[in-house]
Amino acid sequence: MSRTARVPEAYVPAVYLQTQHPESWIDRKRKRPQQSLRVPHKLPNFGPLLGEQAVFGFVWTEPKPITKAIEDSRKILELQDNWDDEGAKAYKKETWDRAVEVVRRSCEEMWENFVTTMPAPRILAGPDGTIDLHWKTAKFELLVNIPEDPTDPITYYGDDYGMNTAKGTIDPNRPSHILLCWLNEHK
Amino acid sequence: MWPVEDVPDGDKVFMRVHFRWVDGGKLAPGCFRDQGGGMSTDWERYSTPEQTQGRATTPADNGIISLSVGGIRKIPNLTVEHTPEDDNRAHTDVFGDKKRNPEVRMKLHRLANWVIPCRTVD
């Protein structure tokens, strides 16, 4: 039996279920085999319960709060130049796409590395055409800024309202394990 | 021309916030941005919140937040300077990079208190 046929809908990200046949997600994973075939070293043995697909990492599902945060943020793209009457810039679709990619990739990496989900950020209009990802929980606050220029680094700052802080830049083309570890530790 | 004065740490400044900077009832940290060199605010000594709101293009589209001057000065790399304009003696700039510095915007966000709440999105 092919692996495609064995993936139950429950394990396909909700965003794909809303718009496409579940196989679309599987096709996407096949195009990125380095992710689809990676077996998280901490993955619990779901085999007896879920079948072979669990071993191949198909158990990851985009959490609904993440999907909702992404969909809610589409309104950013409707803002035109001077949308606040004080000269605020409009937002490029490319900037929003990169912001969404950072959220989705972080979420997937959290699952693959820590077998857990991350809290959903607010995806917000930032200053001068940039987009902010804002996490604020009872335990921590984190602000990540996605620049308009794709060659500029992503910048972030977070703290736990105390002495533990995280601050730095992220290569937009690579996941930030430091940021993921920090998110996992403080979520 | 108004004289430039020292703004004491114990005072507050007011800042306009357009309703589109409020998402789900919460202020977006992106509202803290520079316009022509610094972030424009009004010193409470020479302006009421209502006067600050009244200087907006469409006052009803804007709420007003207050920020403690001493609190702003505790944020790394920020300064508060009275920069009066002919038609606005209260005008005060908060200088220091905000766009590329999430730490600054997050800490300004924590300092902010609504004085005149924004209307919500229609």
**CA-to-CA dists, residue B38 to A126, A169, B35, B82, B89, angstroms:** 16, 24, 6, 11, 16
Is the Cβ pair B20, A147 closer than 8 Å? no
Of the residues B15, B26, B97, B106, the best mutation for testing chain A's interface (the one with the most A CB atoms within 10 Å of its CB) is B106
Q: Cβ contact (<8 Å) for A127 and B101?
A: no
Task: State residue B119's pLDDT score.
Answer: 81
What was the pLDDT predicted at A7? 41
Chain B residues in contact with A145 by the CB 8 A cut-off are: 99-100, 102
pLDDT at A51: 44
Hey, what are A154's tokens?
A: 């992503």
Per-residue confidence (pLDDT) for residue B36, from 0 to 100: 82
pLDDT digits (tens, 9 = 90+) for B69-122: 999 999 999 999 999 999 999 999 999 999 889 999 999 999 999 999 998 765
| Of residues A58 and B30, more confidently modeled | B30
The span from the CA of A185 to the CA of A140, in Å, is 10
A1 closest CA partner among A47, A60, A51, A45: A51
Identity of the amino acid at A166: A
- B26 in A contact zone (CB under 8 Å): yes
Interatomic CA distance for residues B102 and A134, integer angstroms = 10
pLDDT digits (tens, 9 = 90+) for A54-98: 444 455 678 899 999 999 999 999 999 999 999 999 999 999 999
Single-letter amino acid code for the residue at A145: N
CB–CB of A128 and B33 under 8 A?
yes
Say whether pLDDT at B25 is over 80.
yes
pLDDT of residue A38: 42
- pLDDT < 50 stretches in chain A: 1-26, 33-43, 45-57
Give the pLDDT score at A79: 97
Decide: helix, strand or coil at residue B115. strand
Contacts of B122 in chain A (CB under 8 A): none
Q: Do B20 and A126 touch (CB under 8 A)?
A: no
Is A125 in contact with B56 (Cβ distance < 8 A)? no
What's the pLDDT at A60? 61
Task: Yes or no: say if A128 and B33 are a contact pair by the CB < 8 Å rule.
Answer: yes
CB atoms within 10 A of CB A162: 8
What pLDDT was estimated at residue B41? 98
Q: Per the CB < 8 Å rule, is B99 touching A128?
A: yes
Asked whether A9 and A22 are in contact (CB, 8 A), the reply is yes
For B56, the token pair is 């907006």
Domain residues of chain B, as ranges? 12-116
Determine the residue of chain A that is closest to B101 in CA distance: A155
